[in-house]
Amino acid sequence: MAEIDAIETDHARIVFRGKDASRAKAFASRIEAGAAKAFDIMPRPQGVDKVFYALTWPQVDGRLYGGVAVGEADAHAYYHPFLDPSELATGQRVPTDTAGLPKATGRVGLHEGTFSRSDFVDVACHEAVHVLANQWFVNSPPIWAVEGLAQWSEGRRYLTAARGRMQAAFPQFEKVVFQGYDEFHQSSLETEFYLCSAAMYACIEDDDGLDAVMRTAQAFYGSTSPEKAEEKLGRTQKQLVADTRKWLGA
């Protein structure tokens, strides 16, 4: 299909076709910066010190490196329930579960549109946070818990700049926050829903500190249902939404 090459940095493995080598080299330091930021924020899974990034191209999107999701976004993280990427590459089909090691590997696909973005480093961080959060994965968590954590990781400056937009969009956010993927992602307010989700984590951080942010994310990723996560936290999603509404002044 294509000649594939790779660059390794302190926190990233960057894989690309040979004809994209110049782009990969030009962006390697920024990919590294995003990955390093994600590792600074997230708990580090045992044995994991790098995130895998693939530079994709339209003809292979959806097929390369185990399948890269495509859609409106410029980059995607995607999940594989396997431990060993080398086994995955040779056709492993049965998930491996080894005590003390993560039960999943993840990948980031950087599509062509990513490279024209002024917030490229934050995008690289956002997707790496998705990958690292899969260390907790038991069952599909609520969309707000997934996208909110990654958006929050990009930095509080985005929330400060968009406070008015979040206040205006929050009533609509409350209508979709407990619904599904399509209601969240296919809305004309999708960007605002990302920000409102991040505001939920910012509210938790202000009230109870950074450790509470991670406890909340881990509870929703690592529980068999949102209700089980609420039991772990002693706090319902509805309470979290109400607290965030007050925090925003929405």
Average pLDDT value for the chain: 85
* pLDDT at res. 100: 42
The residues spanned by each domain of the chain are 4-136, 143-248
Burial 189-208 (b: 16+ CB within 10 A, else e): bbebbbbbbbbbbbbbbeee
> 39-51: per-residue pLDDT in tens?
999 988 777 888 9
Grade residue 237 by pLDDT with cuts at 50, 70 and 90.
Answer: very high
Report whether 13 contacts 21 (CB < 8 A).
no
Mean pLDDT of 49-59: 85
In angstroms, the CA 223 to CA 237 distance is: 14
> 132-181: per-residue pLDDT in tens?
998 888 888 999 999 999 999 999 999 999 999 999 999 999 999 999 88
Compare 17 and 36 and report the one with higher pLDDT: 36
**In a 10 Å sphere around its CB, with 0-12 CB exposed, 13-18 middle and 19+ buried, how is residue 249 labelled?**
exposed
**In a 10 Å sphere around its CB, with 0-12 CB exposed, 13-18 middle and 19+ buried, how is residue 128 labelled?**
buried
* pLDDT at res. 81: 53
What is the pTM for the complete model shown? 0.87
Cβ-proximal residues to 217 (8 Å cutoff; 6+ apart), any chain: 133, 136, 145, 149, 201
